[in-house]
Chain A
Amino acid sequence: NAGVMQNPRHLVRRRGQEARLRCSPMKGHSHVYWYRQLPEEGLKFMVYLQKENIIDESGMPKERFSAEFPKEGPSILRIQQVVRGDSAAYFCASSPSAAGSPLHFGNGTRLTVT
């Protein structure tokens, strides 16, 4: 049973470009969370999604960031017009239910904006 799969592992973008980060949850998991880890900071919640629904996006910047989890395919975190401050490790986690189950994390996508 494969774990949470994130790709790409590393992504380099120039300022102003778009970044697309993909996450395939563990088999049987319908709840997906995105977290961001800025250099020298702890992980911060960004968004919580279920299939075709955004449940909680209170941790996501209002502009340039969006997330989706379609009926088919991986969850996508999209960052438009990236800036240097977006450079961070972005982690995806999944669980089979809303609460009470441990979150399983992927290895992350390390975004570098030049």
Chain B
Amino acid sequence: KQEVTQIPAALSVPEGENLVLNCSFTDSAIYNLQWFRQDPGKGLTSLLLIQSSQREQTSGRLNASLDKSSGRSTLYIAASQPGDSATYLCAVSFDRGSTLGRLYFGRGTQLTVWP
């Protein structure tokens, strides 16, 4: 069964801290992995997309890594700011027995950054 798990479920940190969000998946045969941000009552904003052949992707203060063999991805946020407060979702497109492009989502990590 293809599942995606995120820990922690919630995280509260003071402004300026560097933090790591974790995502694990049950099947190493993935096509790609995508990190999203969701603000309350809003849609999803794509942050980073990592193809299965890549090890990491960076965008500004965000860095996402991928280790297929261990079934893990991490999202690293440097120098966190109150504006980073949101729910962060990890989504995987599996490359086996599933439609390519169909995403399996974790339940998310709810991040609060306080000033």
A12 at the interface (CB under 8 A from B): no
Contact between chains at A95 and B107 (CB < 8 Å): no
A99 near B105 with CB under 8 A, answer no
The verdict on A102 contacting chain B, using a C-beta distance below 8 Å, is yes
* 11 extra interface residue pairs, beta carbon distance < 8 Å, beyond A99-B93, A106-B43, A110-B41: A41-B107, A42-B89, A43-B44, A45-B102, A45-B103, A59-B102, A95-B101, A98-B101, A99-B32, A102-B34, A105-B36
Q: How far is the CB of B18 from chain A (nearest CB, A)?
A: 25
Is the Cβ of B108 less than 8 Å from the Cβ of A42?
A: yes
Report if B49 contacts A (CB, 8 A). Answer: yes
Interface of chain B, helix or strand or loop or mixed? strand
Kindly report which residue of chain A lies nearest to residue B45, judged by CB atoms.
A105
Number of interface residues of A (CB under 8 A): 29
B69: chain A residues within 8 A (beta carbon): none
Q: Which residues of A contact B76 (CB under 8 A)?
A: none
B45 partner residues in chain A, CB cutoff 8 A: 105
> Given A6, A56, A100, A106, which contacts B102 in the complex, CB threshold below 8 Å?
A56
A45, A99, A102: the one within 8 Å of B100 (CB): A99
Interface bits A86-111 vs B (CB < 8 Å: 1, else 0): 00000101010111101111111010
